[in-house]
Amino acid sequence: MSEAVFITAQGDKYHARRNCSGITGAQKSAREQGYKVYEPEAVTLAEARERGKGVPCATCGVTTISRDQLLASAQNFAGRALRAYIDDDDQVILLHSAMSLEHLMKAVLCDMNSALLVEFRPGSLDSLLHLTGHGPKAKKKHPRTISAREALDRIRKIVSDLGVPKEKLEELIDVRDGVVHTGFLDETDTREVFTVYLRCCNKLFEELKVSPDERWGDHQEMVDTLISESLSEIERTVKQQLAAAKFRINELLTKIPENEHVSVMTARQSSLTRVLLPGREILTEKCPACEDESATYIGEDDEIVDYDVEGDGHGNYHSFVTGVYPIFRAESFICGVCDLKLSGEDELTAAGLEPTIDLSERGDYDERWEEY
């Protein structure tokens, strides 16, 4: 954020006000003792930190949250998670990872505009004042920011494709919220969720324009290895599934007259039973194994929302929507012709399918999307 804070030559804190008693009181004492007194200097928060004055003043109620604060905290928790992984301490790997993910997601939102960290509900004005650099005007001492789950929801709407399974990120947040105890996850589950976290963080680091050599510190090589091994295993599994599906349909078709191939494939696709959970929809897509055009994604309708924030000229801010774009978030894929079944964004990607589909660009864009 560009809101100014105030520092002094001899102090180690930054202040919200030039006339903060933390400044004036110390100056008065210095003058009485015959020391030279320097005028407070207005600087950005980032510059204050660079000059070794990164501690907020408790007297004037500085509670500004910045992109850099959140990023530094996220990297700190990431370092703890990676050290726990090295030490085989499964009890805390995901706890630290979850805190890191939450702060990194909030850093991305804050980088766009700090107001995106505010809950959209009545009574949030004090938090908005704090987060937009007007903390001294707030009645409450500290801001309240959105939950990790809400941060993920906003990130998924703003960042078009995180490239990782949604359910694994939600599982990580469940650990952070105490819904799932780490003791219930075995070593394989822990490693799978952990590598999803690492991959998601790399995507968020890209959004923040953090270069690869500044992301993971001394653990960079280990992170690269974990991600590579995870993706390689998924790719091997999917290749085997594709090969098996092709073999099944080719073996079947060799036993059927060629002029009956189309009718048999159509009948097999039509006879497929799809069980949809509430809120789930289907979307047709070409099968990567047998190339039948009527295979289906299963997933949910969603939207990408573009936000902006504006002030009212009196120190208050509100967010508003500048655009809404319909998308389909695929969770699985199934083909009745060759019996191919894929689950999760990783498997879809490995098979060459898109986990997030822009519906406005599809030829079968129909009435069900017109509400957008």
Q: Kindly report which listed range (181-195, 293-307, 317-331) carries the lowest average pLDDT score.
A: 181-195
Inter-residue contact 229 to 130 (CB < 8 Å): no
Phi-psi region of 44 (alpha: psi -120 to 50; beta: other; left: phi over 0): beta
- Class of the CATH-defined domain 65-136+144-215: mainly alpha
Q: Which residue has the higher pLDDT, 190 or 135?
A: 190
- For the ranges 63-72, 126-135, 157-166, 277-286, the one whose mean pLDDT is highest: 277-286
Phi-psi region of 14 (alpha: psi -120 to 50; beta: other; left: phi over 0): beta
Q: Which residues belong to CATH 1.20.120 in the chain?
A: 65-136+144-215
Closest CA relative to residue 168, chosen from 347, 354, 359 = 347
- Put simply, whether the predicted model's pTM sits higher than 0.75 gets the answer no
- Give CB contacts under 8 A, 24+ apart, made by 226-233: 226/191, 226/194, 226/195, 226/198, 227/195, 227/198, 227/199, 227/202, 229/195, 230/191, 230/192, 230/195, 230/199, 231/346, 231/350
Average pLDDT over residues 248-260: 91
Given pLDDT bands bounded at 50, 70 and 90, which one contains residue 372? very low
End-to-end CA, the chain: 33
**Distance of CA 262 to CAs 243, 253, 283, Å?**
21, 10, 21
pLDDT in tens, 294-309: 999 999 888 877 767 7
Average pLDDT over residues 224-229: 86
Q: What 3-state class would DSSP assign to 354?
A: coil
Residue 371 has pLDDT above 50, yes or no: no
